[in-house]
A and B are shown apart, each in its own frame.
Chain A
Amino acid sequence: MDSQKKIKVLYVDDEPNNLFSFKAAFRFDYEIFLANNTDEALQKLEENQDISVILSDQKMPGKTGVEFFEDIRVKYPNPIRILITGYSDIESVISAINRGHVFRYIKKPWTDVDVQSAIDEAHKFYITTSMLAMKNDELQKAYDELDKFAYSATHDMRGPILSVLGIVDLMKNAEDMDEIKEMNEMMENAMLKLDNYIQNLHDHYSIRRGELNITEIEFEDVIKDMSDLYDIASKLKNVAFNKSCMQSCKFRSDDISIKIIINNLLSNAFKYQKKDSNDKQVSLEIKVESGTATIVVSDNGIGIPEQNMKDVFSMFFRGAHEEIGSGFGLYNVKDALGKVNGKIDVESVVNEGTKFTVTIPSK
């Protein structure tokens, strides 16, 4: 059992003597809350939402323990309920257990061992149910994401195909060679867009389902890979690509996740440039020291408006009109960072540029 955090237990009984002796017996094992009547018990529950076990006497003036449990069941479904009864009326206890109001019952006079084992069992049950609720939440999130995905897939995958079909239809009657060339180029772009989307999708699921493959990483090699990928784009689009790397210690992490992170950040830095600028810059600086890699990707492009900052890491969020964006990139970055326990910070000024700073600890 967790020694630092005691189990929180609420005990309701109309006899002060029982309350005292209960607290005296268990105050070292549990954090105990006492209530002299059901109103007081409700107040304690309201104030301490993390109470995990409630014990109640059955025979109390006004309300029986079973009735009290029935009342609180809807508002406080999580705490596990234990009935204490010296009452010979076993029928009402059995029916309460069968209706699911009561997890256990303890006979009066109780022994310390009975109470302790009942509380411990109840707490285990409480933890299991809470875990189940958490898993359900996760599952719900996965479903929501799947819905979003299905929606976007029809748009982002069908979109380029339908565009090309449209062009093919137009081409049937086109005679002007220049026009045909233009259409050809457009079809090429549509296919590149589709390919880019599918690659992102592949990245997404390799991050999600893939096992981590921890190896020693030489960031000089990573920089070289990125140069191979972006040097051509840098020349074609007339964007200066500055790289620097300083690695003073060994670094271990998942190679694929790191490359996905850097690749996506660079891809954005190249994509969201100011079209009419004569001084387009993208830089990648990597520094590895004391077991932490700091990766900075910055550009002097269009920047991110403040109101979009909170959404940039959401799936399928597209903050700019650029038609090439899929809304996948930064979402994949965030996922990959989760795998390697990394953190990301973004600073941006509209029309001045954006700077992403990623820190990743060595494994």
Chain B
Amino acid sequence: MNFIVIDDSKLDCFIAEKIIKNTGHCDECKVFQQATEGLEYIKNKTDKNETVVFVDIQMPVMNGFEFVEAFEGLADDVKEPYSIYMLSSSINENDIAKVKGYASVKHFLNKPLTNDTIAAVLEELNIT
């Protein structure tokens, strides 16, 4: 399984990467502190390996919602291998409701990412 982490906080990227690698199911983990770079990476990727994307909501320049909107505008065959999860430290009802409105987003997850949340994500995607 491949993973992409998009978060403007270097620390949260570090945590996510560690936890992902600890699962033992990680073939490749890419980390981006800027959503624009993450999007470029997805656009240019040619292989069709299944990939889980964790994206933070509040980021400067391009926030999580803008990222998802841009992602949803990509061609279907580009989008196909990705499962997107949105992460946030905010407990804002509007944000949580907004996440549900995006077809390409699987779930909203609370920060910080823990072994348990990752385990639940992998289970949902039938990876054991």
Contact of A319 among B9, B33, B60, B111 (CB under 8 A): B60
Which of B46-54, B70-78, B88-96 contacts the other chain?
A: B88-96
Inter-subunit contact A151/B33 (CB<8 Å): no
Question: Dominant SS at the A interface?
Answer: helix
A186 at the interface (CB under 8 A from B): yes
Q: Which of chain B's residues have a CB closer than 8 A to the CB of A158?
A: 89-91
Inter-subunit contact A151/B90 (CB<8 Å): yes
The distance in angstroms between the C-alpha atoms of A159 and B59, with both chains bound, is 12
Q: Which of chain A's residues have a CB closer than 8 A to the CB of B60?
A: 318-322, 325, 327
Inter-subunit contact A154/B90 (CB<8 Å): yes
- Which residue of chain A is the closest to B63 with respect to CB atoms? A318
A256 to chain B, nearest CB (A): 28
| Interface residues on chain A, number (Cβ under 8 Å) | 27
Contact of B19 among A155, A170, A319, A325 (CB under 8 A): A170
A169 at the interface (CB under 8 A from B): yes
The distance in angstroms between the C-alpha atoms of A160 and B111, with both chains bound, is 10
- Which residue of chain B is the closest to A166 with respect to CB atoms? B112
Question: Dominant SS at the B interface?
Answer: loop
The distance in angstroms between the C-alpha atoms of A159 and B58, with both chains bound, is 10
Inter-subunit contact B8/A321 (CB<8 Å): yes
Which of B10-18, B23-31, B98-106, B119-127 contacts the other chain?
A: B10-18
A215 at the interface (CB under 8 A from B): no
Inter-subunit contact A162/B112 (CB<8 Å): yes
Inter-subunit contact A323/B33 (CB<8 Å): yes
The distance in angstroms between the C-alpha atoms of A155 and B60, with both chains bound, is 13
| Interface residues on chain B, number (Cβ under 8 Å) | 25
Q: In the complex, which residues 162-200 of chain A have their Cβ closer than 8 Å to any Cβ of chain B? A: 162-163, 165-167, 169-170, 173, 183, 186-187, 189-190
Inter-subunit contact B92/A154 (CB<8 Å): yes
B39 at the interface (CB under 8 A from A): no
B88 to chain A, nearest CB (A): 7
The distance in angstroms between the C-alpha atoms of A170 and B14, with both chains bound, is 10
Q: Which of chain B's residues have a CB closer than 8 A to the CB of A169?
A: 112, 114-115
- Measured CB to CB, the residues of A under 8 A from B are 151, 154-155, 158-160, 162-163, 165-167, 169-170, 173, 183, 186-187, 189-190, 318-323, 325, 327
- A sample of 7 cross-chain residue pairs with beta-carbon separation below 8 angstroms, ordered by A number, consists of A160-B11, A167-B11, A173-B22, A186-B10, A187-B11, A189-B10, A321-B60
- Measured CB to CB, the residues of B under 8 A from A are 8-12, 14-15, 18-19, 22, 33-34, 58, 60-61, 88-92, 111-115
A sample of 7 more A-B contacts (CB under 8 A), given A163-B11, A319-B60, is A160-B11, A165-B112, A166-B11, A166-B111, A166-B114, A187-B11, A321-B33
